Amino acid sequence: MHKTMDVSKAIEGLSVGVTTSAQASGAAKLRVLHREIVTAMPTADNQEIRVLFARLEPGDRTPYHSHRFPVTVYMLEGTFTLELDGRDAVTVKAGEVFVEPSQVRMTGRNLDPKVPATMALFYVSTPDTPFADPVA
């Protein structure tokens, strides 16, 4: 059974401004999906925020690649298996979040024979930085 949480509990200690509603219902409901401290974030005067949508059909795989900056993956549907050099494979399911580390070689696959893997990808980079660097 899912309980309704008040805003202070829902934001789990994050310091954010409270957004109030025009309705008598009160404040916007916030829920933390993921928190993680990462390294290798851009430090230039300007940064670019990118949000991408990706879909892998059953059996599809990404090229072998790396990222210059961390990439946050939020799974919308299906399952995504990420194989990272020097680490155990990671399986991310719908509703889960995973942060792909920077400078780690990887490939991702949809191993499900029937269900597409769809995800939203979020990252911050210096402007015009390629999303991924191919690895030979």
Domain limits, the chain: 1-32, 48-134
Instruction: Judge whether 126 and 67 are in contact, CB under 8 Å.
Output: no
Q: Inform me whether the pLDDT recorded for 7 exceeds 80.
A: no
Q: How confident is the model at residue 13 (pLDDT cuts 50, 70, 90)?
A: low
**Closest by alpha carbon to 120, among 73, 70, 50?**
73
Q: Which pLDDT score, from 0 to 100, does residue 6 have?
A: 47
Burial of 49 (0-12, 13-18, 19+ CB in 10 A): exposed
**Closest by alpha carbon to 80, among 90, 70, 65, 88?**
90
- First and final CA of the chain: distance in angstroms? 49
**Closest by alpha carbon to 39, among 102, 119, 126?**
102
Report the greatest alpha carbon distance in the chain: 58
Q: Which pLDDT score, from 0 to 100, does residue 108 have?
A: 97
Query: Which amino acid, one-letter code, is at 38?
Result: V
Q: Inform me whether the pLDDT recorded for 1 exceeds 50.
A: no
Please state the φ and ψ torsions of residue 131, each to the nearest 5 degrees: -60, -45
Q: How confident is the model at residue 109 (pLDDT cuts 50, 70, 90)?
A: very high
Topology of domain 48-134, CATH = Jelly Rolls (2.60.120)
